[in-house]
Amino acid sequence: MKQFKRITLALFLFVGFFVRADEGMWFLMFIDRLNHRDMQKMGLQLTAEEIYSINHSSLKDAVVQFNGGCTAELISKDGLLLTNHHCGYDAIAELSTPENDYLTNGYWAADRGQELKPKSLYVRFFVRMDDCTKRILAKVSDDMSENERDKIIRQEIALIEKENSDEGKYVVSVRSFFQGNEFYYFVYQDYKDVRLVGTPPNSIGKFGGDTDNWEWPRHTGDFSMFRVYADANGNPADYSTSNVPLHPKHHLPINLNGVKEGDFAMIMGYPGRTNRWLPAGGIDQNVKYAYPAWVEASKTAMDAMKVYMDQDANVRLNYASKYARTANYWKNRQGMIDALTGFQTAASKAKNEAKFDAWANKPENKATYGSVVSTINNYYAATNDKARHDNYLSILFRNAEYASISRGLGAQLMAYAKADNTKQTAMKAELVAAINEFFATTHGPAELDILINGLNLYAAKANFELVDGVAAMYADGNCANEIRAMYAMSILASQNRMLAFLEFPSEDQLSNDPLYKLSSNILAQLIKRTDELTALNNDFNRAYRLLVAGLRESGMSTVLYPDANSTLRLTYGKVSALPADKRNDAKINNYTTLQGTINKYKPNDEEFDLPQRLIDLNAQKDFGRYADKAGYMPVNFLTNNDITGGNSGSPVLNGKGELIGIAFDGNIEAMAGDVIFDNKLQKTINVDIRYVLFIIDKYAGAKHIVDEMTIVP
């Protein structure tokens, strides 16, 4: 209720206050036709060709997808890469030990020989894209079933991807847009030798923790630095000491002049997922069924992890990434519930769908669109309870290693048991390494509690057909005794028992192992599809595709861009303030300062502690050339760009294509933004590039890293 009141009050405070936000996550290939003139009026000084070019270097060559889930940018001619601290978190945690705890203490490579290689980390360069809609849709017809349509489309996609891969040189992905009404293919090149160059300590890179996450004012130095390596010819290569820094086609120059209200700002990156076309029934399902289950199940898992993370440094490092990811989405989903409820988004969508339904049932439209809205509404009514069930179970599957082990290590053991002696010999060394890694990075007592607590919550709250065997386990209102007995008996709960299994593998023994059976049953329940549900899904998919087509045809939707789906997009807007906030010492509430960071300082607090050196630099006003001309040290600033998850780490650029910041978060009041864009509330929270360089140079003393960047006057 408190959150609802905050959002409602914000609606009244914000009216008339803002620079207009520009909605849209745009394809680069259409910038010239759709956006360039508007962007020029707002302050862009680049040509469309300088943003996206196939034949010449352009901005797109400096922006990469980072490890499949974030964005990063090249900032030197030697492959230096900048992204968020929370994007590099997994790699930093992996490289950390209690003796060399880079998460807590930070790390700065004194030279390239000290740059650290995580086991698995890659970046993806965007080469080009093209429209293949006509080719694909020419293969299907309206009288096909959805299954027939999907099969033919998949076949054509496979051909397009093969044709453009250049015999494996490129990764090609054909993606559906506007719910299957348009198709484009994307050509990428992956580089897998990526090494850690530098990271601030958690007390800077994660300052504010979960409390400040999605909140403004913000004071977080959310950045980390890596380097991309290639072979001697600049081609992708597996890790080797003979590899050399990649010389990218383009790297971003850095502007230290700072930002002010109304300055043009554009962001390029890989936004993960939006649902701007989501029907009213889908919004209601998320708000009332799916997201509450997600929030509750996530909190249950976090609480179980935290107990053991606080007790043991090894456990803290091993579970840091999982905990951070879970906490991030936990707060995000609660913010979505609050925002979508506060804005009555479902009711607004329902009104528009009622108008569409009237248009759809006109004689000239009825044959194609007449049943679209009713089919969609029937689908959601029939799947609400399942959505709640699936979210309780999927969060358990995501967080409890033994809930998902049948799909991971357990599946490898089963393949080993089924193999002949020759294949087993070839597989054994890799399996031994996987087993040792599993037990080095998981903590048995923590995993037991995550599984027990999550399964108890699921059994009590799912209100749906339960995983096979769980109802009996929960008969007395607690699965703990049964799970502990399973753990005591299971091959999978003991490193020694797993290694012994490799010597005498038995398919029957593994298939009857209690934890393996439980995990297999959980997975089976997650993927279970009755004939009724399959029919509902097919009808819904067709209806949703036609809804989007009809909304575009009728002009009842003004959305001109497709939903985000982890493909490269550009969004543009301006530096934009929120109403004055007494928690922010800044003169205009579109930026924060290092003094504001110090004002939040709480010694030895997990979220708000600070390094003494940073406090001393602020006291001495020793900011070097990175201070604002007004004398303060800037930390974060706001723009009104249209972003979502996956944009983390995206470069924030001025009108000349110079780097002025790194996007890292949104504001809690606009958590409905994945579903409906609000040009009054939508904000992007960015790290000021001056703070990044200040931390590297003045705080860390790693000026050699700054020296390889291109700093513009």
Which residues form the catalytic set? Answer: 86, 222, 648
Inter-residue contact 138 to 153 (CB < 8 Å): no
At 262, which amino acid appears?
A: G
Contacts of residues 108-113 at CB distance under 8 Å and 24 or more positions apart, as own/partner, are 108/197, 108/198, 108/199, 108/696, 108/700, 108/701, 108/702, 108/705, 109/196, 109/197, 109/198, 110/702, 110/704, 111/704, 112/227, 112/245
| 8-state DSSP, 112 | G
CB burial of 630-659 (b: ≥16 within 10 Å; e: otherwise) equals eebbbbbbbbbbbbbbbbbbbbbbbbebbb
Cα(111)–Cα(424) distance, integer angstroms: 43
Residues 569 and 560 sit within 8 Å (Cβ to Cβ)? no
Rounded distance between C-alpha atoms, residue 250 and residue 231, angstroms: 18
CA distances from 186 to 56, 182, 454, 623 (A): 17, 13, 39, 43
CB 653 within 8 A of CB 267: yes
| 3-state SS class at 575 | strand
* Of the candidates 41, 480, 504, 631, the residue with the CA atom closest to the CA atom of residue 623: 631
SS3 554: helix
Complete DSSP assignment for 170-233: SEEEEEEETTTTEEEEEEEEEE-EEEEEEE--HHHHTTTHHHHTT-SS------EEEEEEE-TT
Specify which residues 174 forms β-bridges with. 185
Cα 646 from Cα 509, distance rounded (Å): 42
85 in Cβ contact with 76 (< 8 Å):
no
Tokens of residue 530, six digits: 């009755």
Say how far apart CA 484 and CA 495 lie, in whole Å: 17
Q: What are phi and psi of 185, to 5 degrees?
A: -110, 150
Q: Can the peptide bond before residue 217 be classed as cis, meaning omega within 30 degrees of 0?
A: yes
Interstrand relation of 264-269 and 651-653 (parallel, antiparallel or unpaired)? antiparallel
List the one residue out of 688, 693, 709 whose CA is nearest residue 625: 693
Cα distance between residue 649 and residue 643, in whole Å: 11
**Three-class SS string for 268-301?**
EECCCCCCCCCCHHHHHHHHHHHHHHHHHHHHHH
What is the DSSP-derived secondary structure letter of residue 467?
A: P
Give the separation between CA 132 and CA 139, rounded to whole angstroms. 12
